[in-house]
Amino acid sequence: MSKEEVLGYFYTNSSKYGVKTTLIILLCGLAVGMVIYLTYYISSEKIAYNRKFNWSLVIMHLITVVVMLMISSNIAVSLGMVGALSIVRFRTAVKDSRDTMFIFWAMAEGLCVSSQNWRLTFTTVLFIAAVLIFSSKVPGSRNKYLLIVRGGAGN
């Protein structure tokens, strides 16, 4: 392998995605994202349910797919993206530890979809969804809320 071939690998796409392939990958990503959406909807406590956060999981999943497709097609772009993404800081406090888990799940499934490993993608999304839904329905696993009202005698 010559020096020109190595440098050419850094500056040219190692694999090109056409419009049809990209749309298929994104539609599969949307399907997986909707499984994550439904799982969050079913397993969340109705008092703490946040519809905007749930939709942000789907969009974050699709953004992860797009970023990984871009990174996998060019080594120079991947190095630039790693540098750019390393300076991003998230300052929003996550109220529930399950929300953090859903964020990582959405990102991991985005990586699976963008690698086009369909067996791993659909097996893991269905398995994790089943575990999360089952664990949310176990008796006694829900948070209990207590309301205390104190009143005094009227004057």
Residue with tokens 């992860």: 64
Confidence (pLDDT) at 14: 47
Q: What is the pLDDT of residues 6-28, one digit of tens each?
A: 556 555 554 567 788 888 989 99
Structural domain for 31, as ranges: 3-137
Q: How confident is the model at residue 125 (pLDDT cuts 50, 70, 90)?
A: very high
Domain membership flag for residue 149: no
Domain membership flag for residue 150: no
Mean pLDDT of 50-58: 87
DSSP assignment of 49-89 equals --HHHHHHHHHHHHHHHHHHHHHHT-HHHHHHHHHHHHT--
Confidence (pLDDT) at 151: 78
Instruction: Report the predicted TM-score, pTM, of the whole model to 2 decimal places.
Output: 0.70
Mean pLDDT of 80-93: 65
Q: What is the pLDDT of residues 27-50, one digit of tens each?
A: 999 999 999 999 999 888 767 778
Number of domains in the chain: 1
Domain membership flag for residue 152: no
Contacts 24+ apart (CB under 8 A), 120-127: 121/28, 121/32, 122/32, 125/32, 125/35, 125/36, 126/35
Domain membership flag for residue 30: yes
Domain membership flag for residue 70: yes
Residue 129 contacts residue 135 (beta carbons within 8 Å): no
C-alpha 147, offset from chain centre: 35
Domain membership flag for residue 114: yes
Confidence (pLDDT) at 131: 92
Domain membership flag for residue 14: yes
Domain membership flag for residue 155: no
